[in-house]
Structure 1
Amino acid sequence: MLEKIGLLGALVFAMPVLAQLAPGVRMPPEIGAAYGRLGKAMMAHDAAGVRTVWADNFVVNSPNNTVIGREDVIAIMDQDFLDYRDFRKHITFVGEKPEVTVIMGYDTMIPLKGPGAGKQVTRPFTDVRAKRGAGWQLIARQATIAEAK
């Protein structure tokens, strides 16, 4: 599992800190609330809370070009590798369709461990959410570390 440390930059979502919407972008309230619940669960290393927001078949394409599933990400979280400070989410696009919603933007943060530790990292992302019985669950995510300053 430690060989997957390179994906750390791809996994943290809306921490309960600063989130900004670009002008004219509207976040559906149910999805915004899900981002908030996910951020709190990730910060608390609450696997059960994460599972309520991520679909069973959730996948992420990480910065090291490895595609992993929900339980792999939770295992990394449980190993205490997903800690950040000064996390900010910038949402530039929300595309709503009846069956999926696509959210795009970029995150800025300072990872405490792993790639870019101690440096500000910029990470563009694309999230895909699908309407499921439990609400709008995250089914796929792509995130790439663009730069570390």
Structure 2
Amino acid sequence: MAKPCVFCSILAGEAGAHVVLDEPGFLAFLDTRPVFKGHVLLVPREHVETLPDLPAEHRDGFLEAAQRLATAVKDGLGAQGSFVAMNNTVSQSVPHLHLHVVPRTKGDGLRGFFWPRTTYADDAEAASYAARLGAVLGRPGV
């Protein structure tokens, strides 16, 4: 890699993140520039750049984790649903496979692929979102 991968730095514990799911093959954490509060990124621990690069033995676990995250944004945050997406190379701001799970509610203003961004008021607000999602995912004490 020409420049360090920010997601690999998070996985190595060298960079901070608000983790909501921590498993042997995957990690999920809050996006620092969320479309809506509670926007989560799911990444494999192994550095792969795109979905086609994901080893076959990790596909089922990756999708299963994505399903649980989609449920968590509803159950933990009161969203009506979710938007689940990933980019492969084009529009991929970090060249490490990551799946977005964005909480949605009717009338939230998201149209098509226009992704407005918001911010958390402070670290405590971000931590509260991570804790709510982590609690639904069986990660007590976050």
Q: TM-score, normalised by structure 1?
A: 0.30
Select the structure that is richer in helix.
2
Q: TM-score, normalised by structure 2?
A: 0.31
Select the structure that is richer in strand.
1
